Structure 1
């Protein structure tokens, strides 16, 4: 979809509601960028990045915690959507690999890694949490039945794999994606010794930027 294209449901909304929907998309995208970079950033930084007035932001999200909660909840729903899409593949092993690749490319797990503990969860997320557990169990069940997955792998192991991939972060988004896919391929080989490693290996000094002080 191009940057100027709009979802069909959004185009069908009347003027003010369509604008509100566009603002909400801008706000959530900006919040993701801002809070992944600095979880303690003020909510005004989100409004500035989104290009919306602070009053428009507060009309939708009364406080920072409400915004963080919505952002993380949307991440879980994206996680579930990727799992459901992967499960359309009848090959249990291929479905599991496809799921991991989808979630890593969507960078869903960074939200959990960076924002966990920054807001109070409420009961509205419980149905999505339960759905996530069901999907994870089904992915592993099918992968085991395929005969490829190690029998001792658990759902928690999938979380470790996704967290390891999310930990790879460089200033260049494209290079970040390349290396996350490489790490995922290495870790997937630990689940079953198959597959080729995508992308080139890390270059010398490629991670040196992390040692630079942020206040300079």
Structure 2
């Protein structure tokens, strides 16, 4: 049997590190990097060669989540039906568990310029899908409302991953029905600063 080369092993190690880091830091953002190396079954030196500090690892996790958000939005935008595109986008983001990273890791690192640019792209893509669905949405829904609803779904978490997915899908289905209901919502929608303060705390 052919043994993997150094390049292949490095890729496998990195994948193991990122999977372990997601599990460790979603459970406890204050956990040490050594816990990630132990969970990933890689040497601490191998981890530090790729990620010189904890912030670098956290930054990569969140940037990967942002890229997933963008990919889900771009894929959903291909749907010809406006409501289906919107609902497909939300389901894809919830299933990918993107917003768990925001809820747990916001403010734990300094975003790069590229992350900020990608965040703007993500916001534009989401806004486009929301505008397409606008004729079907209650009149006073804003993009920031959708952000908080996605974070609500991400808050559903059980030890059983499959059951977590089922309950999140159930929650999202209720929320989607509510988004189409007529009648005014109480209070103003979330403000941009109310959503972004977490990223400004470092």
TM-score by length of 1: 0.79
1:58 corresponds to which of 40, 48, 54? 48
- What CA distance in whole angstroms lies between the structure 2 residues aligned with 1:136 and 1:109? 14
Contact 1:47 1:57 in 2 (8 A): yes
Q: 2:23 aligns with which of 33, 36, 39?
A: 33
Selected match of 2:165 from 168, 177, 188:
177
Which of the numbers 93, 97, 100 marks the counterpart of 2:87?
97
Is 1:86 equivalent to 2:76 in the alignment?
A: yes
Q: Is the partner of 2:110 in helix, strand or coil?
A: coil
Structure of higher RCO (CA pairs closer than 8 Å, 6+ residues apart): 2
Q: 2:144 aligns with which of 156, 166, 180?
A: 156
- Can you list the C-alpha shifts for 1:183-207, whole angstroms capped at 9, x where unaligned? 11111111115xxxxxxxxxxxxxx
Q: In structure 1, the residue corresponding to 2:159 is in which secondary structure? A: coil
CA distance in 1, matches of 2:44, 2:85: 43
Give the Å deviation of 1:122: 2.0
Matches within 5 A, 1:5-44: 15-44=5-34
Superposed displacement of residue 71, structure 1:
0.5
Q: Distance in 1 between matches of 2:121 and 2:147?
A: 16
Query: Structure 1 stretches (4+) deviating beyond 4 angstroms?
Result: none
Distance 2:105 2:73 in 1: 22
TM-score normalised by length of structure 2: 0.85
- How far did 1:130 drift? 1.7
Instruction: Indicate which of 172, 176, 180 corresponds to 1:192.
Output: 180
For residue 180 of structure 1, report the CA deviation from its aligned partner.
Answer: 0.7
How is 1:91-130 mapped onto 2 (pairs within 5 angstroms)? 91-130=81-120
Residue in 1 that maps onto 2:197: none
Gaps of 5+ in 1: 1-13, 194-216
Shift of 1:126: 2.2
Q: Which residue of 2 aligns with 1:168?
A: 156
Cα pair 1:93 1:149 within 8 Å, conserved: no
Distance (whole Å) between structure 2 residues aligned to residue 26 and residue 37 of structure 1? 17
Q: Which has the higher helix share?
A: 2
List runs of 5+ in structure 2 lacking aligned partners: 182-202
Deviations 1:10-66 (A, max 9, x none): xxxx93222211111111111000000111110011011111110000000001111
Aligned residues: 178
RMSD, aligned CA? 1.3
Instruction: Tell me, in whole angstroms, the C-alpha distance in 2 between the residues paired with 1:106 and 1:67.
Output: 19
Q: CA deviation at 1:127?
A: 2.2
